[in-house]
Every structure is written in C-alpha cells, then in structure tokens.
Structure 1
Amino acid sequence: MDYARNLLEQIQNRAEELNKAERKVAAAILRDPQQAVHYSAAALAQLAQVSEPTVNRFCRSFNVSGYPELKMQLVQSLASGAAYVSQAVEPDDGAEAYTRKIFGSAIASLDSAWQNLDPHQVSRAVDMMIQARQIHFFGLGASAAVALDAQHKFFRFNLAVSAHSDVLMQRMLASVSRTGDLFVMISYTGRTRELVEITHLARQNGASVLSLTVNDSPLAQASSLTLNIPRPENTDIYMPMSSRIIQLTVLDVLATGMTLRRGADFQPHLRKIKESLNASRYPIDEESA
C-alpha cells in the first residue's frame, strides 16, 4: 500500500489511537485537508488549540520528520484523489456542516472501495454471472433494497433473475439449488448468521455464491468468491448510508462488465428494453427546456 497516497485515510483510521491533544491536530487536518497544506506548524497548532511541539509529535506518530514532510504527503494524497475524508456528524452540526460531511463521506467511501477492489476478482465475478443458469440476489435490512435494484438491472441480460429479502424464502431457494445457480449475497458486515448458513446450504447443493462483503468475514469465508467492500461506517450504531452507495456502484460495475462481454450484438436488446418505456413518459417540451 502506498503510504503517501493513503495518508488522509491513515489519519482518520488512527485518530482514536492518538492522545487528546494529537486528536485535535488530526481533526484540524481532516476538517479541511486542502487548506491544511498551506498552514505552517505554528498556524496549525493555533487552529487546533495545541502547542507546536504537539504538532511535531503528531507528525512523528505517522513516521514523518516534521510538518513540512507531512504537508508534502498530504499534497500527494490530495493529488491522488483522496481529497474527501469521512467525518462524523456532530450533534450541534448545522445543515451546511452535516450536508458537507455526508457528501464527503460518501465520496471518500467510494474512493476507498475502488482502491480495495481487485480488477481480477471483478473479472471472475463477471464470468460467474455470464455462465449462470439463474441468479438470485439476497440481502437483508438495508441491503434488501440493493438486491431489488440488482434484479432491476440484471434481468436485462436474458437471465432468470430474482431478489429476495425474506430469510425463509432464501433458505428454501438454497435448499433446491443446483449446479449452474448463482447466489449473490449482499452484506456490508458479512456477519449475518442467516446469510452465512444459507451460503453453506447453497454450496452444498452445487450452487456458486458471490458475496459483496468485507474480506475475512464469515460470509466471505463461506463464499465461492468475494468482492471486497471496506467498512468506513459503523453499521451497528449508525444509519447505513455509504454502504448502500458502494454496493450499488459495485453492481453497476458488474452490469457494465456483462454488457461489454456480450458485445455489440447485445446492444439492440438493451435499446429495445429502454425504448419500450418511451410511451410511459411525457415528451420533453424543448421550447420550455
């Protein structure tokens, strides 16, 4: 992993390990990293309401000699696309603050997910979907809506596709599965007991299981293949927001991969589906547009 490229993420992830004064320095940087690269050590110390030696200790905590070197690594992080970082919403945040934080966290989460997604694994996942006889998308809780969206996307590929959020239906489908069936398990934590049990059941019957979840989770270990989705938010406590955005984006990646694999001959089929909706929409009034 390129340390400089991920310095902002490193600061965010390690903030709780720092002492109280150093956490103030981290918060000042994460609040506006673009502006932080223009501060002197003294100016950053004043902004964070700490001493200048505290800023230097903070730098050494991240294996850099001082604030000038830290600023250079911040510049590299920003240039690499890590301009956004996840920030917790505070009880006294106004509309401007929590709107900025939610959008910033979503963008940061997508960037982190993209960096952690292995293109080789994506290609293997597309192969599994292309070769499947039928695909079942399973999700519970917040992931249930994502599974339904996947059904809406993937039925276009002339495949038998379904989406289910009921555990009993998921278990019954897994119990009668066979070789050629593909189950796509969508779980941000990968720790939902029912999905792990259903995954084992499906694989025992010869079906394949593709999971959109975090690596090394119980679900990932039970699956045929996993597309790694990092966990920048605590879904045990807070409302899951960026998790759904990441899951939906990964599914868009897979759908695009399938479209490209089908080639130009498949384009008329997709166009026919899209044009079938024209009659259900009011025409655009070009004069008033």
Structure 2
Amino acid sequence: MLDRIKASLPSLAPAEQRVGRLVLADPRAFANLPITELANRSHVSKPTVVRFCRSMGYDGLSDFKLKLAGSVSEGVPFIHRSVDADDKTGDVLVKVIDNTVAAFLKYRNDASTTALEKATQALLATYNSGKRIEFFGVGNSGIVAQDAQHKFFRLGITSIAYSDGHMQVMSASLLGPGDCVVVISNSGRTRDLMDACDIARKNGATTIVITVTGSPLAAAGHIHLAANHPEGYDRYSPMVSRLMHLMIIDILATCVALRIGAKLQPLLKEMKNNLRNKRYA
C-alpha cells in the first residue's frame, strides 16, 4: 500500500501530495489521528484528505485507514524479487511464485469492494437490458480481454473482445446508453484504448477500466478497478499484472453469475453435457 502511494505521488494534485507524504512519513499515526489533525498536519482542508483517499482507490478516509492499519500491522509485504541471468530453474520458480502470491494478497487487502460492486451492477444491468458488453485490450491485455469475453459468453451474455485499435474505435462509435465496455490496460497510457474509452463514454456507454492508479485511463472511465503492481517493463513483458487482471475478471464474472441466479444453472448444465461429446471416453 505504501509503495503504491509513493508511486502515485507525482500524478496527484499538490495538496493531495502533502497528504500522501504525511502517510509515508508515519503511517501508524495517520491511521489513528482524526481528520482535523490530519488536515492540520498536511496544511490542507478536510475534504482534500478525503479526496486523497479516493484518488488512491479507496471509498473514503475510514476505508483508507482500515486498509492502512491492516497493511502496517499484519504486513502482507510487497515482494518483488527480480530474476537474474544466472538464476537456476528452482530460483526462477520461487521468485515468480513469490511475486504472484504477494501481489494477490496485497490486492485482497487493497481492493475497493465498492468499485467492484459498482462494476458488477453495471454489467448486470447491461445483461438484463439485453445490451452489449465489450472488452478492449491490446498486447497482453488483449489476451485478458479475450479471456473475459469467454467467461461472460459462457454465462449467456452477449459479449465480444477487440484487441485491434481500429476495431475498438469503430465498435465504441456504435455503443450507446445501456451498453458497457471494459477497458483493460497494464500501463493505463495506451493511446488506442484511451481513444476508444473516450468515444464509448461520449456515446453514453458505461465504461469500466482495469488499470493502474494515477494513470490517464484510470480517470477516463466511469468505474476504476485498480490493479497496481510495479513491474519491470523494460526487461520482460508484464506477468504478475496480467494475472491480476485475469483475477479481477474472474471476480466480476463470479459476482455477475451469482446475481443472475438459479436460471443460469440449467444453461451451464446443458453446456457441460453437450461438451462431453467432444471428449474421449
């Protein structure tokens, strides 16, 4: 959590940066002080303290303090163990798994359930109205978008995935009120995805963005699902962040399936029965 705040500081407003520096200076004190004292020590207004917490992806000051206290006390530490050229296979195994497990546990502590609930409700509303759900991503995120389309398709939901920038812009131009687009990006700075997201939002579609906090894309959607993991982009293609995106899609698909309810069971059962014919006995 503290690593995320430190990484996000440059993208925040100057007043919010002062609040962030106060957190980093003494996280335990921040978690226990009242909002008036926090505002005084940061030389900002009380609403600015709350805005900082929301900019970091939390529901408000109370939610931020709760997650901060948990992060400091129970300490699911951020582990980023870089692989080296002379690492043995066993070393690579341990480092890759440690990075992934630590990132997942960190996400469990940091995730905004309010944002996930809003995204679930938006997807469910689109399903109930018979409108379209679309998934946009490029590169590694394009593969996640295809996986998302597969999961929602199995629920009987009209959905499609695009990984080509031109197709995304064309499709976004055809979306309208009631439709929903989920934009997935590791960096949150891909121009094609920004363009498509802006067009879809302008046309009245609900936009859900899965990306890093503080990025341009994070501010472009109606609903931001934060996926924060400081990964070395220069050496290897994103690995842990891609797995986090897949996990978030799994959470959304599961939540939507549960809200659809019992009428989904016969469909899934028939699908399984029909697939049995595709397998050797």
Under a length normalisation based on structure 1, what TM-score does the superposition of the two structures give? 0.69
Candidates 146, 149, 168, aligned match of 1:151: 149
User: Does 1:90 find its partner at 2:87?
Assistant: no
Query: Could you tell me which residue of structure 2 aligns to residue 224 of structure 1?
Result: 222
Q: Residues 96, 168 of structure 1: CA spacing in aligned structure 2 closer, same or farther, 3 A cutoff?
A: same
1:192 to 190, 193, 214: 190
Aligned length, in residue pairs: 218
The CA deviation string for residues 190-245 of structure 1, in whole angstroms up to 9 with x for no partner, is 11111111111111111111011112210011101010000231234422111111
SS of residue in 1 equivalent to 2:80: coil
2:116 to 98, 112, 122: 122
Contact 1:189 1:231 in 2 (8 A): no
Whether contact under 8 Å (1:84, 1:104) holds in the other structure is: no
| Cα distance between partner residues in 1 of 2:74 and 2:272 | 37
Q: Which residue number in structure 1 is paired with residue 232 of structure 2?
A: 234
Tell me the CA shift for residue 185 of structure 1: 0.3
The verdict on how the C-alpha distance between 1:267 and 1:204 changes in structure 2, with shifts beyond 3 A counting, is same
CA shift for structure 1 position 84 = 7.5
The alpha-carbon deviation at position 78 of structure 1 amounts to 12
Larger Rg: 1
Matches within 5 A, 1:57-136: 80=74, 82=76, 85-132=79-126, 133-136=131-134
Q: Which residue of 2 aligns with 1:28?
A: none
The one-letter amino acid of 1:112's match is K
Runs of 4+ in 1 over 6 A off after TM superposition: 61-64, 76-79
CA contact (8 A) 1:109 1:232 kept: no
2:218 and 2:71 map into 1 onto residues whose CA distance is 30
Determine the C-alpha separation between the residues in 2 that align with 1:176 and 1:119: 31
Shift of 1:184: 0.5
Unpaired segments ≥5 residues, structure 2: 8-24, 29-69
SS in 2 for 1:157: coil
For 1:27, the equivalent position in structure 2 comes to none
1:83/1:191 Cα in 2 relative to 1: closer, same or farther (>3 Å)? Answer: closer
**Out of 123, 139, 142, which is 1:141 matched to?**
139
Q: 1:268 to 1:108 in 2, by over 3 A?
A: same
Given the superposition, is the C-alpha separation of residues 247 and 182 from structure 1 closer, same or farther in structure 2, using an over 3 Å criterion?
same
Give matches, 1:259-278, under 5 Å: 259-278=257-276
Inter-CA distance 84–196: structure 2 relative to 1 (3 Å threshold): closer
* 1:11-41: CA deviation from partner (whole Å, max 9, x where unpaired): xx89xxxxxxxxxxxxxxxxxxxxxxxxxxx
- Aligned-partner Cα distance in 1 for 2:119–2:272: 25
Identical aligned pairs, as a percentage?
37
Does the CA contact (< 8 Å) of 2:175 and 2:200 recur in 1? yes
Question: Residue 270 of structure 1 aligns to which amino acid in structure 2?
Answer: L
| 2-structure distance, mates of 1:205, 1:78 | 43
CA distance in 2, matches of 1:277, 1:78: 48
Please tell me the residue identity of whatever aligns with 1:150.
A
TM-score in terms of structure 2 length: 0.71
Q: Aligned match of 1:215 in 210, 213, 216?
A: 213
The amino acid across from 1:105 in the alignment is N
Please give the residue correspondences for 1:47-58 in structure 2 after superposition, counting only pairs within 5 Å: none
Give structure 1 stretches of 5+ with no counterpart: 15-60, 65-75, 284-289
Q: Which one of 184, 204, 207 corresponds to residue 206 of structure 1?
A: 204
Deviation at 1:134, TM superposition (A): 0.8
Distance 1:160 1:146 in 2: 17
Structure 1 residues 203-212 or 265-274, which shifts more?
Answer: 265-274
